[in-house]
Amino acid sequence: MSGSAGTDLPSAPLRLAVVQAEATPGDVAHNARRAAGLAAGAAGLGARVVVLPELHLCGYDLPSLAAAPADCEVAADESGTVTDGRLEPLAETAARTGTLILTGAAVRRPDGRLANSVVAVEPSGALSAVYDKQHLWHADEARLFTAGERGAALEADGWRLGLAVCYDMSFPEHARAAALSGAHAYLCLGAFASGNEHRACVYLAARALENTVYSVFANPVGGPAARPTRGGSVVYAPDGTLLAGAGTDEERTIVADLDPRRMAEVRGFLRMLDEQRSRSGRTATAPA
C-alpha cells in the first residue's frame, strides 16, 4: 500500500472497522495479542482496514510510560520499520487476513526522539511507524514526546487514508492538508478522557463536512483510574452525518462501508474542497 497522492475517487467501497478496546498499561505483548484477536474478528466481518486507539500498544497511561519507558516503547529504524517480537501476533493476523491494521504506539526513533505514533501493520506482515502526532496535548505529552513535523497518508484498496492522533483533530488545517493531498478519509486514533468524547464528535463531524471526506475516530475504554476513557468511537460520512457509533463504556467493534458514490453525491453540491484547491493553485502561481 503506497502513499501516492491523487484526487480521483476510489472505484469501490472500503469496509473499515473501528476497535474500541481497553489496553493494559505497560504490557505491549498482551495488548498486541488482544489487538490481533480483535482485528481478526473485524476481518471476519469483511473489514479491509482496522483502526485501534492512540498508544494502544502500551496503553494511554503517561505516568507508567515515564516510569518504565523500555517496557512501553517499540523501536523504529531510519526507514520507520518496526521489528519487535512482541508484535508478531499483529503481523501474523494482518498477513493471514489481508487487512491493514493501524494502532497507536510509543515509538523510539533512531535519533532518540520518542514519538506518539501510528504503527501500520501491512497485509504483507511488515510493520512500520508511519506517522508521529503533530499536536501534543499540553505539558503532559510534551514532556515525554517530540511532535511530528509532517502529515502522512496510506493507501488501501485505492482509498487514500489521512492519519491523525487525538489532539490533531482539533486543528482544521490538519485535516484540510490531508484532504488537499487527496485523502478520501481522515483516520484519528484517540484517547479522549472520560467526559470529553463530545468534543471529538464535534470536531470530526466538522472535519468530514468541511472537507467532504469520511472521518473516523477510535477511542479506548478503561484506562488508569486517574484518567479513564469511555469510548465514543464514531465514523462520519462526507456530509458530516453519523455513519456508525460504538457508544460508551464497553468494548465494541463497529464496521462501516466507505462508499465513493456517497462522496461523489456530496461533492456534487458541497464544493468547498475543489474551491479551496483552485484558490490554493491561484495563490501558488500568482507573481510575487
| Active-site residue set | 54, 133, 166
Which parts of 6-87 fold into alpha helices (H)?
Answer: 28-44, 62-67, 69-72
**Which grid coordinates belong to 97?**
487476513
Q: Which residues pair with 214 in a beta bridge?
A: 185
Residue 200 sits at the vertex; the CA angle it makes with 263 and 55, to the nearest 5 degrees, is 105
DSSP character string of 140-189: HHHTT-----S--EEEETTEEEEEEEGGGGG-HHHHHHHHHTT-SEEEEE
The residue written with cell numbers 518496526 in the block is 82
Residues 26, 72 contacting (CB under 8 angstroms) = yes
